[in-house]
Structure 1
Amino acid sequence: MRAQVIVLAGPSGSGKSRLAARMGLPVLRLDDFYKSGGDPTLPVLTSGANAGMVDWDHAESWLPEDALAALAALCREGRAEVPIYDIAHDGRRGWQVLDLAGSPLFVAEGIFAPDVVRPAREAGLVAAAYCIRRSALRTFWLRLHRDLREHRKPPLVLVRRGLALLRAQRDVVAEAVAKGCEPVGPEEALARVRRLQAGTPR
């Protein structure tokens, strides 16, 4: 085993990507394993203001087996070919090689990160698993600002989705904890990773 993974879970907009960048470790973006927009197996919202649209917050909207395969390859071989996903266009736009360059730790982050914790831990691949939590209102504003800046979807869709996620945030955190993640704030997660880095032989 060449490396182990630090899993970062948490509600959309909780700051997982920014925190991963601050850690200074290679990052596997689990959101790049979304299905493409034309996939007939994508789940659809059946109620609410966005009824009829794809439910991108449903676990069936991504490919966990592909994500786990990439995660395992990184741990065992130190490199893996991973997709490049364009959220604004709901599809992959290519592939790239993620190389750990000898790092004994790397980060895997995304809204479906809790789903990889148990199988990855059973395979001995996990160094730590955290669920990043902030106040629901702060998470709502951070998420909306990011999504508007990146033009991910029309503004009204983003606001409606954001309000639905705000109401569901407590359940999202509880589910992540049930699947093996420790609930911590961003600064606590960063401090724990620094301690892991200090204790990991290179």
Structure 2
Amino acid sequence: MTWFFISIFAFLAGHMVPGLFRRQLVARLGTTLYVLFFSLISMALLVWVIGAELQADYIPLWPYDPREHWVPILAMLPVCVLWVAAVRQPCPLSIGRAAGYDPHHPGINLFTRHPLLLGVVIWGVTHMVPNGHLAAIIFFGGSALFAVLGMGRMEKMRLRQLGAAEFNRLCAGTRRFDWRGLLNGALDWRDVVGGIILYGAIIWLHPLVLGRDPLAF
């Protein structure tokens, strides 16, 4: 478990420390290079955490039931749609691009202005259900908690960057979470089709990358 906890600490530090020096790093590297390096470091640290979690000591917290696998299997399809929408559509107050955002047509922001982070929350919470052991709960539960806290952190960061007037202008019509947005054009067919394709890719790659087939239970 030692290396698992070290990897968790490194992952958190890798996300928190660059944020403390974001202005200086962006001024020196530029926004594009900063985002690129931050993304590469984040992915490398995430791979380390996943590998350490798979090798960590198995300390059960509740009995295993194969039927629990249906929880993340069913939940991951809407998660994938959210992640595709986070890439396709502008999300000016969260992780994602701001260019092209129209406050009069908020899109996915009608449902949630943090689609990527909300997807991580659902991914983490639902993956805890069939993985009732200590390392998995720390990993998945910690990821979900980190994403929830990240929503407030992203909004505070955008408020500092944009100023109150511009932040409020962009924020108008958006929601942290409002299911009624799905009835008012938050998603379009490209988000849904892209989410289905991403879902299929994850199901296919899961056993190849992680050594665990989500459909073999």
| TM-score, scaled relative to structure 1 | 0.30
The structure with the largest alpha-carbon Rg is 2
Q: Does 1 or 2 have the higher relative contact order (CA < 8 Å, sep 6+)?
A: 1
Flag the structure with higher strand content: 1
| TM-score, scaled relative to structure 2 | 0.29
